[in-house]
Amino acid sequence: MQLSAQNTYSIQNIDPHQLTETFGSPLYVYDGATIRRKVQELQHAFPGINMKIKYACKANTNLSILRLMREIGVELDVVSPGELEMGLIAGYSANQITFTPSGVPFEEVREAVDAGAIVNVDSIPLLEWFGQTYGNTKPCLIRIKPNVAAGGNAKIMTAHADSKFGISVLLLEQILEVVKKYDIKIIGLHQHTGSDIKDAEPFLKVADILFEAAKHFPDLEIVDLGGGFKVSYLPGDEITDMDLLGRKISERFKKFCSEYGRELQLWFEPGKFLVSESGYLLVNATVVKEDPARNFVHVNSGLNHLIRPMMYGSYHHILNVSNPSGEPKTYNVVGYICETDTFATDRTLPKVKAGDLLAFLNAGAYGLTMSSNYNARLRPAEVLVDQAEAKLIRRRETLEDLLKTQTNL
Ligand code: LLP
């Protein structure tokens, strides 16, 4: 969101008030220009290597976002038959889609393979099943757990020894036995360390572990290092230095490829990096309570629309779009759900009055995709602002949507 010299906010020159007047409130808004910029940033960060981006679409599965990604050369990582279907509807061909399951029923893997997607096998039992079912007729990747702890908080770390994800690198011998037994065609090794990882060091550590394991697989075409780059949550926030990381990983990857004897593809699966900063959740202040203990700003939204602050303690910067130059005041910003759904504690904002339009930043990733109908509340609409035009890309839910799965009306 840009702040003009006249102290007004805009998204690609569109006043956010105009967006909520047209499309209603609360409202998810995505800025397509930010997504394009983030994709370019990543594409340019890995010089001289064959790098592919597989967008981890769990971050945001709106079909218009998926189509935008496809148009700008980004492929897909999916984790469920539903996400796979959305990718196909968005125009991806199945061979551009990787299925990264996590202990799913094997039937889901069969569906994905039959559709033509490539699978990241995440357990020894699944590897056995894959071998029995397909022998050497279908290729797959193996998801390795490198036993490295990194990530913004414990809930979003996925590669430490206690994590449920992937096959421990300590079981390499067992993996090799199963691969040999069924002559499985392993074309790639995969791992995902966690989310919100700022430093280059954990990425380099897991890359080295994967390169070492890769020496045991002669037919590799791909090394997939997952996602997890840390984005900016407030002005001046420290983020993953992509130029530095890109340079260092590229160097090591080139060295690995020359030792391996063949040029491989390097894949990344970012979610947040590509879409987090593009998104805003626009809400209105409903009630401002001047309680003896604290000032509360209630808004017409809650953990049903944006659960990250309550689930992970995540920081979402908040702007008072209606009163950018108001005198600073400190508030707890809270939702309308019958739970303690606090978006922000002791947050200093330009003075808020009932009706003011507020914007939660970093709402492009894991916002609407993690939303719910708790308290029989409806999901907001979504709007994409791209090439200076605001388009409705998901209509607001209605009570009929909520009732349509009930069988006893
Ligand atoms: N690849 C795999 C296999 C993943 O499990 C994930 C995220 C990603 C890629 C993308 O990670 P990213 O680049 O977005 O950090 N809901 C949490 C984040 C959980 C991420 C789960 N897996 C949050 O809102 O912070």
Dist. CA 382–CA 26, nearest whole Å? 9
| 195 Cβ below 6 A of ligand 1 | yes
Q: What pLDDT is stored for residue 47 in this prediction?
A: 84
Side-chain-side CA neighbours of 196 within 13 Å: the count stands at 19
Quickly name the fold that domain 32-274 has.
TIM Barrel (3.20.20)
| 267 Cβ below 6 A of ligand 1 | no
Model pTM above 0.95: yes
Secondary structure class of 356 (helix, strand, coil): coil
Each residue of 303-331: pLDDT tens digit? 999 999 999 999 999 999 999 999 999 99
List the catalytic residue out of 57, 140, 257, 338.
338
Q: Which ligand 1 atom is the nearest neighbour of the CA of 269? A: 9
Averaged pLDDT of the chain: 96
Q: How far is the CA of 119 from the centre of ligand 1 (A)?
A: 17
Each residue of 39-82: pLDDT tens digit? 999 999 998 899 999 999 999 999 999 999 999 999 999 999 99
Chain region(s) in the chain for CATH 2.40.37.10: 2-30+276-403
Backbone angles phi, psi at 31, to 5 degrees: -100, 110
Dist. CA 299–CA 359, nearest whole Å? 11
Residue length, the chain?
A: 409
Judge whether 257 counts as a catalytic residue.
Answer: no
Regarding an ipTM greater than 0.85, the answer is yes
pLDDT-based confidence at residue 388 (cuts at 50, 70, 90)? confident
Asked whether 361 and 233 are in contact (CB, 8 A), the reply is yes
Chain region(s) in the chain for CATH 3.20.20.10: 32-274
Asked whether 171 and 122 are in contact (CB, 8 A), the reply is no
Q: Is 221 marked as binding a ligand?
A: no
**Residue linked to tokens 């910029």:** 37
Longest dimension (CA), the chain: 71
Which of 300, 377, 319 shows the shortest CA–CA distance to 2? Answer: 319
Q: Please give the CATH number for the structural domain made up of 2-30+276-403.
A: 2.40.37.10
Helix intervals (H) in 97-233 = 106-115, 124-134, 172-182, 200-214
